[in-house]
Chain A
Amino acid sequence: MTQRAYVGIGSNLGDRLANLDRAFDALARLGRIRAASSLYRTRPWGKRDQPWFLNAVVSIETKLNARSLLDGLRQAEDELGRERGERWAARTIDLDLLLYDDLEITTPDLRLPHPHLHERAFVLVPLAELDKRFEVMRDALPPSERAGVVRVERESVIGMSEELSALRERLTALARFLEESDVVRVRVERAQDEIELSVRARPAITQSAAGVPAAPASRVDTIKADLVGIFHASRPAAVEGDVLDGDRELGYIEALGIRTPVHSLGAGRLLSVVTADGSPVEYGQPLFLLARGR
């Protein structure tokens, strides 16, 4: 028996688009994703002096009960590196259980439907996209609230004006200059447009030969097979939770009598062993998930 749930996803820290992608992947492990709304840039609700969020709502079919699903969402938030109670209250990823079928629950740790659903434009606008029942609620929002939710159109990126492009070039140069300093983030907001530069503290992992870019504060990397063969884990095998203090061989792929090693490509914490020892693997098949940094 599966239930349909709606989950709100939000991020305003780091590579927001990548964070949302990883959130989708995490949600796909909790059930089957049936639909996803468009992406929206939204003005922060509550504390105003934060970066704008990137939000979406996802419809998911799951066998988990509401509490287990909520636990799954909390765990995913942790894995994706949400910082709780941090100074700017910025979030790597925020996963809200908005609705679970037509369930109504009021307990200290779980309330459904989500208590603030009816007043948050950044929830109602994408939700109404997926479920027409919420159109009325969305239309009842005050105009000022709706103004803070802007649908992300690809065209606006492709058709970026020259002025904006020039501005971006200058700021990129500025960011490079500031790379040596302590400045953590520079954000420029201008009406409907936004340029966000993140100049991060020197990363813990340098760029590897395989082209994995230098890691920001916290990130999940997928180690993939780059040839077809049978995967063998190293002995002793690395297990979930293992912390690797540097580049380490995690196993090898056997093909045509040749063993090609699989490396962790740097330090990190093993989040997941995706492929079992002795399995056939194809090109691009995920083998391990590693959390980098911190």
Chain B
Amino acid sequence: MIANRGEIALRINRACQELGVATVAIYSEADRESLHVRQADEAFCVGPGPAGRSYLNIPNIISTALVTGCDAVHPGYGFLAENARFAEICSDHGLTFIGPKPSVIALMGDKATAKRILSEAGVATTPGSDVLASIEEAYEAARSIGYPLLLKATAGGGGRGMRVVREPGDLPRAYAGATAEAEASFKDGRVYLERLIRAPRHIEVQVLADEFGNIVHLGERDCSVQKPAHQKIIEETPAPHLPARARSALHEMALAAARYVGYTNAGTLEFLVSGDDAYFMEMNTRIQVEHPVTEMVYNIDLVKEQIRIASGEPLGYVQRDLVVRGHAIECRINAEDARSNFAPAAGTVSKVVFPGGPGIRVDTHLYAGATIPPYYDSMLAKVVAFGDTREVAIARMERALRETLIEGVNTTIDICLEILESREFRDGRYDIEFIPNRILANGEAASISPRSLR
């Protein structure tokens, strides 16, 4: 059963079809006409539009799996993908959860504890505190770590529940704000402190592990091109201008961490890289949105691997069998208005043309006439470009984005093109402050009118 929606549900369905695995899709009333619903072997409505009553409706989701006789559940990303309780409930009902064990999900889901555990494994982590019990503890920790700092939610993600603390005077309001937002977003108001790394790069490492203790890494991805609130727009692999030693250090740390916690299935370790220093930030125990770029350069199907691993198969290959070839870039196309600070836009897509040709892959659930419901994230499509070199990949991506036509909603296609044309991106020298500083500050936000075919 595919316990998700949109493009990732389609992605999972495709892997299953190629493996000869039958699929059951779940959908909300708002997604009745969605592509994954039409393409799965069976589909069940699990609730009305709002995610809490549909895609997070554990009873209806489990019930669907049981009623249709499913053997396994793939949670995709977001929604219940990193919900340890859901993973437990699946196994309680005899359903294989495609992902790591519930205890590992819970461990990695507690960010502060994950850092502490992994530093025991010899992984460099951002200097920081454990979970703070009070504002007094916060002051103490802040003093020993050193300002400036970042106050973060331990149950958090997606940039929420975070506050910058530049000096002691900032702490009371930051503490109150972060705990409140964490409580509201994640039902867990616990926070911890981390040194604020200046202008870091966000580089993550993909790992795959089977249930027999075999673990491999599949390279790193540079995800530093991010909107305000730490949301990724463009990702690429390999990370440009990363010294060989730094690169292999990241890979080794990722393997050590995965081994230490007894990791199984697919996962990603996120690091902040500043100069010669790399710090472990958090681990995501799920398949990620940007997985296609890794698939392109390693010529591997990560979702199929997830399913194979979950069904008890060994990896069947070792690290030296995995060879990187070429360069891949992904642009996330969202329904948004770049000028109004990326406010999400709902609507109906009247006309749609997706690019093709050499080295282009598009992962999308969009089709002409599709309505974009207001209840979920605003991602419309992922355009991925592959080339023998980074220059070829960039050129192909630019061509592909110019070929792309999505009418009926405003999209981030133009801002992606602007980024690709920027000197920083072309040189491969950018960090996570790149977009917030440059693009929005000096008002070079791209035109947000619907693009027409040129």
Contact = CB atoms under 8 A, between A and B. Distances in A.
Contact of A256 (B44, B45, B63): B63
Interface of B: 29, 44-48, 54, 59-64, 66-68, 93
Interface stretch (A90-98, A125-133, A225-233): A225-233
A280 B45 contact: no
B29 A228 contact: no
A280 B48 CA distance: 18
B387 to A, nearest CB: 45
Given A228-B64, A230-B67, A282 B59 contact: no
Nearest to A280: B67
Max chain A CB contacts within 10 Å: which of B29, B44, B63?
Answer: B63
B29 A229 contact: no
A283 interface: yes
Contact of A227 (B59, B66, B68, B93): B59
A222 interface: no
A104 B430 CA distance: 77
Interface of A: 227-230, 255-256, 280, 282-285
A280 B65 CA distance: 11
Contact of B45 (A229, A230, A255, A282): A282
A282 B46 contact: yes
B67 A283 contact: no
Given A255-B59, A256-B59, A283 B66 contact: no
Contacts of A282: 44-46, 64
A264 B34 CA distance: 32
Max chain B CB contacts within 10 Å: which of A228, A229, A230, A284?
Answer: A228
- Give the secondary structure class of A's interface: loop
A282 B68 CA distance: 11
Contacts of A283: 29, 44-48, 54, 60
A2 B384 CA distance: 47
A229 B67 contact: yes
B46 A256 contact: no
Contacts of B66: 256
Nearest to A230: B67
Given A255-B59, A256-B66, A284 B29 contact: yes
Contacts of A228: 44-46, 59-61, 63-64, 67
A171 B63 CA distance: 49
Nearest to B60: A228
A280 B68 contact: yes
Contacts of B54: 283
A283 B63 CA distance: 11
A215 B152 CA distance: 53
Contacts of B64: 228, 282
A282 B59 CA distance: 12
Give me the 8 closest cross-chain CB pairs, A-B, nearest first: A255-B63, A282-B44, A228-B63, A282-B45, A280-B67, A228-B60, A283-B45, A228-B64
A284 B44 CA distance: 10
A170 to B, nearest CB: 34
A225 to B, nearest CB: 9
Nearest to A279: B67
A227 B66 CA distance: 13
Nearest to B29: A284
Given A227-B60, A228-B63, A256-B62, A285 B68 contact: no
B92 to A, nearest CB: 10
A256 B59 CA distance: 7
Contact of A229 (B47, B48, B63, B93): B63
A283 B61 CA distance: 10
A276 to B, nearest CB: 14
Max chain A CB contacts within 10 Å: which of B44, B48, B62?
Answer: B44
Nearest to B69: A280
